[in-house]
A and B are shown apart, each in its own frame.
Chain A
Amino acid sequence: MRSLVTLVFLAFPCFLWAQDWEDQLVFNDGAEGAHLRIISSTDTVLFAPLIEGFVARNPSISVEYFVSGTADIDRRVRASPDAFDIVVSSAMDLQLKLANDGFALALKDIEAPHWTQWHHSLFAFTTEPAAIVINREAFEGQDIPHTRQSLIEALRERPEEFRGKVGTYDVRESGLGYLFATQDARASETYWRLMEVMGGLDVRLYCCSGEMINDLADGKILVAYNVLGSYAAVRAERKDALEVIFPTDFQTTMMRTALVSEETQEPDAAEAFINYLITEKPVAQDSPSSLPPLVLQNGATDRETIGLNPSLLTFLDDLKRKKFLSAWENAVIQ
């Protein structure tokens, strides 16, 4: 992938200003029609099949794909809303705030169930639960923890084995990490105890799911908490050593959402892309590199999906965020 990015940079030197993208790629280069710029938090390997499917159907449209962290996406879109046509992110709260603040274009023609969209401008296209991913070797001969409580107990039992070998999001940097953390904190006090335990074990903090899973696969860490299920599933299938656990006590499930920038220059192509995202099941379910489809809420309490509604704004309030972060730092950084 790196070589591809290098190629892109060589081909388009003018993009060199666009510093430190995690990834940047052009699909269907040279097409004469609309040029869509998508900024996304989703790893290229997971999102590329979707874009390829789209350009296969719309050969006249070329797509440029930028990858960055959720918090960074939010900053960039707010700074220059006209620089991107479509914003895809897993941080539902930041996306909802973008839409609420008027950065999203309302697409009245798109038909979507009410719970999967907000204000006709923010559209969900996947449901992805947060997971605990462990290295099986570390739990050899031991019970694999299926709840947060049992994870706490396992960590407390063998602190020396796990010291420096547990990882989670740095919620100060990751938008998705912050969303998962706040939803966990809302759901149960267990979250804080887990954070205290992990803090006591010199937890490693990551900006993104991808890196965390890479370190896990490499054996640098043994336990990763609140990893994005989809990323973990990709890795877990490649490395038998990893086990993805969806906690049974409560589950935090987010929906990956997309919006069209208010200042897009290609509203029709952008709308077509959104429509494609929410109506198509572009990749076979068993494909290793696929995003999970949107799953209907079936009332099961253990799979509570975070709702697309204004309450997501709560933890984005400056005062509230400051208060939460200081509590989190108190627990994690000791």
Chain B
Amino acid sequence: MTANPTVSGSLRNRLVLALIGGAAVLAVLLFLAVRNYAAQVAQQGQDNILEASVTSILDAAALRDGVLEVDIPYAAFSMLTTPSDDRVFYAIYQDGAFLSGYEDLLLAGASGQSDWLFTSGELRGERIRQVSASRTLVGLGRQTEIAIVLGQTQDALSQTLDQISRNAAFLGLGFFLLTAALSFWITSTTIGQLNRLTTSVTRRGPQDLSPFKKPVPREMAPLVLSLNSLMGRLDQSLSQSEDFIAEAAHRVRTPLATVRSYAEATLHRVEKKENREALRAMVRAIDESSRAAGQLLDHAMITFRADHLEREDVDLVELIRELVQRLTPIAEMKELSLSLRGDTKVLYSGDPILIQNAVRNMIDNALKYAPADSVVEIEVTATPEVAVKVSDSGPGFPAEEIEQLTRRFERGKNAAGTIGSGLGLTIAQDVATAHGGTLVLNNKPTGGACVVLSL
């Protein structure tokens, strides 16, 4: 009855993946941005110190009696002290000619530019940051230009950067973990709303088709609206089919009974032998139709009731005894007897109407096939399971068809000549299934059919 829906993907997985993927991308971006920014700041810091140092050297340059004097202040190099003991290189040029310092530290850029020039390069196998600047000195009738190049290795800087990178990585990782945890939480609360709706749908009683009233998030409102409208239609169609069953039972059974009584009355009145035969055949046909209609309606009713099983506590023995009493006249008409055996009281929680219906069909079946003057045995047991067993001493089921007999409108090969619709065992089977039980058909070793309804 409940078909499993076709599952394609998971909303939860998709949400989690999207959120975590987004968090990962953001974390990487955060890491890169922080590191990049920190690198800039750190480089700026080194540049500032180099600039200050060069400035102090330039300021210490003076023309004295036309001779250039550069009295490097002690602080100029002192301020270049770093935790990693970076190496320091400098060179002083006068009008482009080397004057003092490290000769392999070349003056970068065209001379005459007073602009500060910061470059990164390599000297003596180490990466250095170097800054060059120049200043024009004017003396007595003389003008000269002094240029300073100052270079420093970047050990401390790269150490700082390593540290910052590490911290930035931790920051990114922390951000990622936090966001991932958050996304799990967000996802589960979002899916939780759906689960709550699912639970409240599942928990409903079989008769409850009223609309959902509990508040739901706005996004789920259309779903609940559709669900409510679907249930409204279902409710309507269910009550319609209930009405239909009652209506059909009334409309088919009553006219058939009228026709039968007319036919019987006419049978008493006619005397011609062939007419009487025809009328008898007619009565038999009417009986068959009436019985088939009854069974069809029973079947429809059972299908409906089985879908909305309403259990109540009943004594099965009492229930079956009542049924046996009702059926005894019919059995006697066929010169058969019914015998009820088994436990004296079997309590069970089930739908009494359905169970009675099922057992009636089973007994009907037995009555149809049992030979005259035989006994149809009905046994109600509580152990090992609650079961009702009906057995006769008829021809039994054809062994090769036992599997198919419970299908709708399926009749055994040996059924020719007996009245039947093929619905009897189907009804019994449906009732068994609705109660979570089974219907087992087999043949007794001593001959005769045996039907067990286990509940």
Q: Name A residues whose Cβ lies closer than 8 Å to a Cβ of B.
A: 100-102, 114, 117-120, 186, 307-314, 317-320, 323
Contact = CB atoms under 8 A, between A and B. Distances in A.
Interface of B: 69-78, 80-81, 83-90, 92, 99-102, 124-125
A57 to B, nearest CB: 29
Contacts of A102: 87, 124-125
A310 B77 contact: yes
Contacts of A318: 99-101
A119 B85 contact: yes
A314 B81 contact: no
Given A119-B85, A119-B87, A319-B99, A313 B71 contact: no
Nearest to B75: A311
Contacts of A186: 74
A159 B92 CA distance: 44
The residue among B71, B74, B85, B87 with the most chain A CB atoms within 10 A of its own CB is B85
Given A102-B124, A317-B72, A320-B70, A310 B78 contact: yes
6 contacts: A100-B87, A119-B85, A309-B77, A310-B80, A311-B75, A311-B76
B78 A323 contact: no
Contacts of B69: 319, 323
A317 B100 contact: yes
Contact of A319 (B72, B81, B85, B124): B72
Nearest to B84: A119
B101 A317 contact: yes
Contacts of B81: 307, 309-311
B77 A311 contact: yes
A319 B87 contact: no
Contacts of B85: 117-120, 308-309
B57 to A, nearest CB: 10
B31 to A, nearest CB: 28
A313 B76 CA distance: 10
A319 B70 contact: yes
A309 B53 CA distance: 15
Contacts of B70: 317, 319-320
B124 A314 contact: no
Contacts of A310: 77-78, 80-81, 86-88
A309 B78 CA distance: 7
Given A101-B124, A117-B85, 12 more contacts: A102-B87, A119-B85, A308-B85, A311-B75, A311-B76, A312-B77, A313-B90, A314-B77, A314-B78, A317-B92, A318-B100, A319-B92
Given A114-B83, A309-B81, A319-B99, A314 B72 contact: yes
Given A310-B80, A311-B77, A318-B100, A100 B72 contact: no
Contacts of B75: 311
A313 B100 contact: no
A120 to B, nearest CB: 8
